[in-house]
Amino acid sequence: MRSTHRFVSILIASATAIALATAVTSCDKNPASPTPIPPPGGNPTTPTVVRIVIAGPASVEPGGSAQLSVTAIKSDGSSEDFTSQTTWASTNTNVVTVNSAGLLNGLARGEGVIIARYQTRTTSQSVLVLPKDTFRLTGTVTDSGIALSGVTVAVIAGIGEGLTATTDSGGNYRFYGVAGTVRLHAKKESYSNQIEEIQVTANRSANIPMSFAGQRLSLAGRFTLTIGVKGGFCFGTLPQDARNRTYVATVEQNGARLSVTLSGADFIVTNGAGNRFDGDLIGDRVVFRFGYDYYYYYVSENAIVERFPPTALVISAVVDSKATASRISGRMAGVVGISRNAVPPFFQLTGSCSGQDHQFEMVR
């Protein structure tokens, strides 16, 4: 028993000595630096780019240049210049260009958009090209609030005299390089010439109203409206009696603005739409829109919607027509189709024909 006790004591003493030696050795390796404790959530992540920002002038003179820069805003709130690593482009290289270093060059009066791209991030900035101390003047020419296209607008007095512009399909004109008191002259066939005096001390917009010079057509009253499918692209099933529809159209007129209400069928009216549409009378040209979007085959909520058991017939289009006192007829670009639903929304179609030459005719 005595020798056994002695053997156990030797084992305990040896183990204690080894533990102490290990502790001393560990402390000697780095006595001032305890073992680091990992931060909550693991290792910190590298900041990522959240967005990029262009810095530089919003205008440059013809023949002039300016430097643009790109700053990246990171997820930790810091920022860094990445101009040299940015890819640059201009949307209007006849007016303004930008090289690979972000150097902007103005070529001619006008404007363009400069696009900057770093990795997957993209941003842009509009740049005007203007003579020194001049501005951009824009506006819309209208008749009774309706935009007029094809109007010639000229600067006949003031800084920028001699500049001319023709209004686009939205009735818009633009001048680059005007300042101070300028006088504009607007003219269009069948309209009275209009002169406007405008103060330009910054980039601004000024609309020009015009008056029809002749006897405007009177189109108020009741018409028989015929809509017929003519060619185009068809899919699914469109019944034959859905391809030709006849309605009673009651027209109200306020100057150049026309409002048409349909009757003579079982229309589905939702939020005031489904049996009515508006139009613009410009000279002898009438433009109607119902359910019209940029893509003519798209059906929106203000289309003509007629109950067509078991669902509904939908007509969505833009009409460009000529008018006399007794007839309005022309091309209908759009879609005639059968809705999947008998209640809104109606834009999902099971069969339709879309085209740009459908028949549209209104006869008194």
pLDDT tens per residue across span 86-97: 999 999 999 999
Q: Are residues 245 and 312 in the same domain?
A: yes
The answer, as to whether pTM is greater than 0.85, is no
Is 43 part of any domain? no
Residue 1 is predicted with a pLDDT of 41
Measured CA to CA, the distance from residue 217 to residue 323 in angstroms comes to 8
Percent of the chain with pLDDT over 70: 85
Q: What is the mean pLDDT of residues 314-342?
A: 93
Closest of 221, 255, 189 to residue 327, by C-alpha: 221
**And the tokens for 88?**
């640059």
Q: How confident is the model at residue 214 (pLDDT cuts 50, 70, 90)?
A: confident
Q: Are residues 264 and 348 in the same domain?
A: yes
One domain, residues 123 and 164? no
Which H helix or E strand runs over 80?
A: strand 79-81
32 belongs to a structural domain: no
Which of 209, 234, 268 is the last residue before a domain boundary? 209
Please report the sign of the dihedral spanned by the C-alpha atoms of residue 93, residue 98, residue 99, residue 103. Answer: positive
- Domain holding 85: CATH number? 2.60.40.1080
Taking a C-beta distance cutoff of 8 angstroms, is the pair 228, 358 a contact? yes
Strand, helix or coil for residue 28: helix
Q: Do residues 75 and 178 share a domain?
A: no
CA pair distance 105, 99, nearest whole angstrom: 8
Domain for residue 29, yes or no? no
**Are residues 323 and 229 part of one domain?**
yes
Average pLDDT over residues 17-34: 44
Whether 119 maps to a domain, the answer reads yes
Tokens representing 308 are: 């067509």
- pLDDT tens string 68-82: 999 999 989 899 999
Task: Report if residue 40 sits inside a domain.
Answer: no
Same domain, 184 and 229: no
Mean of pLDDT values over 156-185: 96
CA distances from 321 to 199, 289, 326, 342 (A): 39, 11, 13, 31
343, 243: one domain: yes
Total domain count for the chain?
Answer: 3
| Alpha helix segments (H runs only) across 55-142 | none
pLDDT attached to residue 333: 92
Is residue 343 located within the same domain as residue 232?
yes
Residue 214 lies in a domain: no
pLDDT at 267: 96
With left for phi above 0 and alpha for psi between -120 and 50, is residue 291 left, alpha or beta? left
Among candidate residues 209, 237, 269, the one where a domain is terminated: 209
Average pLDDT, the chain: 87
- Mean pLDDT for the stretch of residues 140-168: 95
Asked if residue 29 has pLDDT above 60, the reply is no
What is the rounded average pLDDT of the residues 169-187?
A: 96
Residue pair 72/116 in contact by the 8 Å Cβ criterion: no
The lowest-confidence range among 123-132, 220-229, 278-287 is 278-287
Q: Is residue 279 part of a domain?
A: yes
Position 299 scores a pLDDT of: 57
The parent domain of residue 100 ranges over 49-129
**Which pLDDT score is estimated for 216?**
87
57 lies in some domain: yes
Task: Indicate the residue among 75, 97, 129 that finishes a domain.
Answer: 129
